[in-house]
Amino acid sequence: MTYSTSPLEELTRSRRGRLRRLKEVPVLPSLVTLGNLLFGFLAMSKVADALRQATPGQGFGAVMPYFELAVILVFVAMVFDALDGRVARMTGQTSAFGAQLDSLSDMVTFGVVPAFLAKQLIDWHAQNDVNNLLPVHPKLFYAAAAVYVAGAALRLARFNVETGADEEDHRRFKGLPSPAAAAVVCALVAMFCTRDQESAAIGHWLLGPESYDLIVRAMPGVLALLGLLMISNVPYPHAVYALVKGRHSMPFLGGLVVMIIIAALEWQLALASCTIGYVLWGLTLGAWRGLFRRGDDGDDGDDADAAPRATPSRN
C-alpha cells in the first residue's frame, strides 16, 4: 500500500532541508561586539538610575553626572564597534553570525540608547518647574524619538543588504551611519551638561546661556532629522579613512592640532563640533554632487541595482 504526500508536507520537508545549523561561531570578534552591546546597556542603566534617584522638581544638576557618564559609555561602545569588524577581517573570522550580532548590538547602542537618553533629557526639561525649557508636548517628543529609532533600524537593515565584507565597502556610506547619528545626540547631551560647569570656560566664552538652552529645545528636531538622514541617500565618507588617506594642506593640519588641544581642555565642545561638522560635511557633499554631478552615477548609485552581497562586517 502506498501513501501519497500532501503538498504541505512536501513544502515543510523542503524548508527543513534548507535550514542551516550553526555549529561554530567566531569567538574573539563576537566578544568585541558584545562589548559594544554591554556598554550601550550600561549607558541606558545610568540614565535609569538618574530617574530613580531624582525627586520631582529637582534641578538637572543633581542628575547631570549620570547623563554625562552615559554619554561616555556610548562613546566607549563606539570603540568596540570600530574594532569588531577589523578584528574579524584580521583574524579571517568574518561570518553571517558576526554580521547579525553586530547589527543587533548597534541597534541597541546606536538606535535605542541615544533616543532614550535624548527623550529623558527632553522630558526632564518639559515640566512646570525649575527645569522648564520646553512646552509639554509628550506625543511630539515620543514621535521624534520614534523617528530616530525607526531610522536606525531601517538604516542597519539596508546596510546589511547592500554592503559586503570588503574593506572598500566601508570607506563610504549611503545615508548617515548609525554610530555617527548616536555621536551627534550624545555630544549635544554632553555639551548641555557643561552649562553650569565653571571648568567649561571655552564653551561659555563661545556660547551664551541661551545657546545651551537651545540644545534642549532643538533636540526633538535633531532626533527626527538624524532619523531621516540615516535612511537618506546622502553620501557620507568614512571619517577615519578620509582623515588618514593621502596628504592634506597645512591649514588642515593646523585646524586638527587646534581641535586636539580643545579636546584635551573640553572634550564636550570638541565632540559637539566634530559630530555636527560631520553631518554638515555629508549634506554639503550631497548638495555639491546633486548640483554639479547630476548626470554622473557617483558613489550613491553604485549598488542601487546590484544583487545583495552577503557577510557585512560592521554598520
Domains of the chain with bracketed CATH? 25-291 (1.20.120.1760)
The CA distance from 65 to 202, in Å, is: 20
The CA distance from 57 to 305, in Å, is: 55
pLDDT of residue 312: 43
Give the model confidence (pLDDT) of 87-108 as tens digits. Answer: 888 888 888 888 889 999 999 9
The CA distance from 152 to 165, in Å, is: 20
The CA distance from 250 to 232, in Å, is: 34
Is residue 119 predicted with pLDDT exceeding 60? yes
Task: Tell me whether strands 235-237 and 172-174 are parallel, antiparallel or unpaired.
Answer: antiparallel
pLDDT of residue 311: 45
Query: For residue 270, how many C-alpha atoms fall within 13 Å in the half-sphere facing its CB?
Result: 13
Closest CA to 71 of 186, 220, 155, 221: 186
Give the model confidence (pLDDT) of 106-117 as tens digits. Answer: 999 999 999 999
Which segment of 34-43, 245-254, 267-276, 289-298 scores lowest on mean pLDDT?
A: 289-298
Give the model confidence (pLDDT) of 210-237 as tens digits. Answer: 888 899 999 999 999 999 999 999 988 8
Which segment of 220-224, 251-255, 258-262 scores lowest on mean pLDDT?
A: 251-255
Is residue 305 predicted with pLDDT exceeding 70? no
Grid look-up 566601508 returns 170
Give the model confidence (pLDDT) of 286-302 as tens digits. Answer: 888 878 776 544 444 34
The CA distance from 155 to 160, in Å, is: 9
Evaluate whether 8 touches 75 at the Cβ level (below 8 Å).
Answer: no
Express as a percent the part of the chain with pLDDT over 90. Answer: 39
pLDDT of residue 98: 85
pLDDT of residue 241: 66
Neighbours of 182 (CB within 10 A): 32
Closest CA to 172 of 289, 40, 29: 289
Q: What are the angstrom distances between the C-alpha of 239 and each of 24, 129, 245, 249?
A: 34, 41, 10, 17
Mean pLDDT taken over the chain: 81
C-alpha cell, 309: 552581497
| pLDDT, mean of residues 167-187 | 84
Secondary element (H or E) of residue 236:
strand 235-237
Is residue 250 predicted with pLDDT exceeding 50? yes
Give the model confidence (pLDDT) of 271-289 as tens digits. Answer: 999 999 999 988 888 888 8
Classify residue 253 by burial, with Cβ atoms within 10 Å: 0-12, 13-18, 19+: exposed
Torsion of CA 117, 118, 119, 121, to 10 degrees: 90
Give the model confidence (pLDDT) of 136-150 as tens digits. Answer: 788 899 999 999 999
Evaluate whether 84 touches 209 at the Cβ level (below 8 Å).
Answer: no
Evaluate whether 219 touches 134 at the Cβ level (below 8 Å).
Answer: no
Which segment of 176-185, 199-208, 303-312 scores lowest on mean pLDDT?
A: 303-312
* Bigger pLDDT: 155 vs 57: 155
The CA distance from 16 to 12, in Å, is: 6
| pLDDT, mean of residues 46-54 | 88
As beta bridge partners, residue 172 has: 237
* Bigger pLDDT: 14 vs 79: 79
pLDDT of residue 35: 95
C-alpha cell, 258: 587646534
Secondary element (H or E) of residue 27:
helix 27-53
